[in-house]
Amino acid sequence: WSFTCKYRAESHMEVRFPPRPIVNCALGALRCCANVSPRCFVGCMHYGIFPSLDCLQGCLSRNLLRQPAKGTPPEIKAEWLMLDEPHSDSSRVILYLPGGGFVARDHTASVFAARVLARLAAKRQALPAILVLNYQLPAHPEHTKQEIEATIQWLRAQGFTDVLVAGDSAGGYLAVQTFLEQSHRICGAVGICPVLDFTLSNQSHTRNSQSCFLTRRFTRYAREQFLGVSSSDPTAEATARQHSLWISSIRTETGTPARPLFLVACEQDPLVDDVQNFAARAATGAVQVCSVQGEASFHISMLLPLLASKSHRNALDQMAEYIHQML
């Protein structure tokens, strides 16, 4: 076993914890739990693992400030994440939509904030704050959409003229969906390992079934909870296709090409084909895809504390550059 800790000025604390057998054992245990009882798996992740990872990240990035968002409408539950820096941008903001399969709430927003904002600090003096929307669970296509719309309207009322949406996994789906509608003139969107195809028919679901904690049984359970339809229902396939994100182009309401999306695809992720197929159907230049490959390239691995491979760092560098350009 070995443990190395490397301090990087541009990204603050990033730790590499190499023992692959430990990672494999952890993923195997999570797969067993998800297959035995998806409901228990959700509780374990929501109340145990995700909060623990959040606490760990808090110890690694002590310069990250968290403040509850005040003055929001009663239905909006959100918090601010920002670096302890003297200058903040009062007109630009990142709206982060956390993942968790639409049934739990992960706490990867703190890892996203610590690693991405630190990189942005090397590019600009005034940093955008990050507003994390803790939408109601289980999420619902229409209700969650209304929460996001109300949050964006509130941000506009606070003077934020430039809004970029970002999210991971289920939150990545919500971020991409919000951007595609373009009803709020979003500056850009970042989707980290997003679920984009609810039919669950892509080959990566089978190919990577043993390399990630996202088992087929859990993904079906999460889909049922979000869409409100059982997989055995005759209408399930049609409902899944209806809410999947299919595109042939990305255009604004004026008909001109919109700013591109930025999507992250992890090589060992069951959802990797979602991203690749989505990008293949898009117009040229409409989607930027960053691939995370090699060791520890499973679902949202780049947003887990203690995991920071070269491929992870490269993806984060590209993500920060995209956000810098869009904002």
Active site residues: 169
Tokens 């959409």 locate to 145
Helix (H, G, I), strand (E, B) or coil at 94: strand
Q: 292: left (phi > 0), else alpha (psi -120 to 50), else beta?
A: beta
Side chain identity at residue 197, one-letter code: D
262 close to 188: Cβ distance less than 8 angstroms: yes
The tokens describing 238, both together, are 């049609």
CA distance 315 to 158: 31
Opening angle at CA 164, ends 310 and 60, nearest 5: 40
Task: Tell me the two tokens of residue 315.
Answer: 């993806």
161 CB contacts (<8 Å, ≥6 apart)?
A: 91, 92
- Grouping H, G, I as helix, E, B as strand and the rest as coil, residue 30 is helix
Half-sphere exposure of 26 (CA within 13 A, CB side): 10
At 109, phi and psi to the nearest 5? -60, -35
Nearest alpha carbon to residue 107 among 56, 148, 143: 56
Sheet strand arrangement including 88-97: 64-68, 78-83, 127-133, 88-97, 162-168, 188-192, 261-266, 287-292
Residue 14 and residue 153: Cα distance in Å, rounded? 35
Which of 210, 132, 213, 223 has its CA nearest to residue 173?
Answer: 223
